[in-house]
C-alpha cells in the first residue's frame, strides 16, 4: 500500500495548457511573424533562486516560463504545457523567436 502511494505522489500531471506564453513580452505588433527555435523543457522548484522575483512572492509558473525563455533565447513559448512534479513545475513548449 505504501509503495502505491509513493508512486502516485511522484507522478507528473498537467496543471495548465495554453497556446502561448511569455514573461519577456506582453504583446507583439499586428502581423508579427516568428521563427520556431524548437522544443524546450525547463524545471523550477520551490527554493530555487528566482529569475524574475526579488521578494518571497515567487510565482512558480512565471519563473519556469522565464527560465525556458532564457535558456532557449526565445521571445515567447507556444503550445505550452505546465506540469506539476512534486514541489516543482515543469514547462514543455516550443520556443519561438
Angstrom distance (rounded) from CA 66 to CA 91: 10
Residue 28: pLDDT over 80: yes
Q: pLDDT value at position 11?
A: 83
Q: Does pTM surpass 0.75?
A: yes
- Condensed to tens digits (0 to 9), the pLDDT of residues 53-90 reads 777 677 899 999 999 999 999 999 999 999 999 999 99
Give the Å distances, CA to CA, from 62 to 23, 79, 97: 7, 16, 19
Amino acid at each position: 500500500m505504501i509503495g502505491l502511494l509513493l508512486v502516485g505522489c511522484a507522478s507528473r500531471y498537467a496543471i495548465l495548457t495554453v497556446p502561448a506564453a511569455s514573461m519577456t513580452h506582453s504583446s507583439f505588433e499586428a502581423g508579427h511573424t516568428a521563427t520556431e527555435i524548437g522544443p524546450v523543457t525547463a524545471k523550477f522548484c520551490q527554493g530555487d533562486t528566482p529569475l524574475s522575483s526579488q521578494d518571497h512572492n515567487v510565482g512558480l509558473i512565471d519563473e519556469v516560463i522565464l527560465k525556458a525563455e532564457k535558456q532557449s533565447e526565445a521571445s515567447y513559448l507556444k503550445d505550452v504545457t505546465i506540469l506539476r512534479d512534486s514541489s516543482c513545475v515543469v514547462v514543455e513548449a516550443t520556443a519561438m523567436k
